[in-house]
Amino acid sequence: MLTDVKSAAVYRYVLDDAIYARIQTFAKARVRRDADLYAKRGQSDVSKIVKDIETGCAGEFVVYEHFRRIGRTVTEPDLALYSPGGKSWLDLTVDGRHLSVKSQSIEQAARYGLSWTFQWSIKPDPAFKDPDGRIALTLYDSRERAAYLLTVLDARGVLTDDILELPESVHLQANKRVIYWKTLVAHYDLC
């Protein structure tokens, strides 16, 4: 199934050595700096945290490269370290419009199903701060260093089209909502 999804992607981008090195440097520096924050969240597996950051950055780069390639005005992925609360929620801007990037690794997709998770509690996910913004959904294969842009959705549509669902993991249901690929395919006739 993941092979079918990858072949249906809007755009595929392979991280070159320079971009990959920048992402790794950023991820490791962020983990070193924020180790206590990750510990408070119950996250202690440094290699998994680095992999998660790599997945998110790869997603931003595939989206950036796609929009740059088709001649749109797009901000570059930001790999700078900021003090807590110092970075805006915004991932990218395309033609002046906010774009939040959600990424999943191919390993997590194989384990849990192709899906993207959103914060859903007292402090909603930053993707929904601007209802006129957009949300890009990506998939990252670390073995190939390839990121796939699967689709871009309007944030308002995500909130109104009944595609946000409870996570299958019961312990996440109080604070998270999920978009499952299978729901997107059925709702929007993707692939």
pLDDT in tens, 149-162: 999 999 888 888 78
Residue 73 makes CB contacts below 8 A (sequence gap 6+) with 94, 95, 96
- Whole-prediction pTM: 0.91
In angstroms, the CA 17 to CA 133 distance is 31
Residue among 102, 117, 112 nearest 176 (CA): 117
In angstroms, the CA 75 to CA 29 distance is 22
The answer to whether 46 and 31 are in contact (CB under 8 A) is yes
Q: What is the pLDDT of residue 190?
A: 61
DSSP designation for 74: B
Q: What is the pLDDT of residue 70?
A: 96
Q: What is the pLDDT of residue 160?
A: 82
Q: What is the pLDDT of residue 6?
A: 83
| Ordered alpha helix ranges (H), the chain | 2-7, 17-33, 35-40, 46-69, 106-112, 155-160, 181-188
Q: What number of other Cβ atoms are within 10 A of residue 38's Cβ?
A: 17
Q: What is the pLDDT of residue 46?
A: 84
Q: What is the pLDDT of residue 12?
A: 95
Q: What is the pLDDT of residue 76?
A: 95
In angstroms, the CA 96 to CA 89 distance is 15
Q: What is the pLDDT of residue 181?
A: 92
**Are β-strands 97-105 and 92-94 bridged in parallel, bridged antiparallel, or unpaired?**
antiparallel
Residues of the chain with pLDDT under 50: none
Q: What is the pLDDT of residue 90?
A: 75
Interval 13-48: pLDDT, tens:
999 999 999 999 999 998 888 877 777 777 778 888
- In order of 92, 93, 135, 159, the CA distances from 99 in angstroms are 5, 5, 6, 15
In angstroms, the CA 53 to CA 28 distance is 9
Secondary structure (3-state) at 63: helix
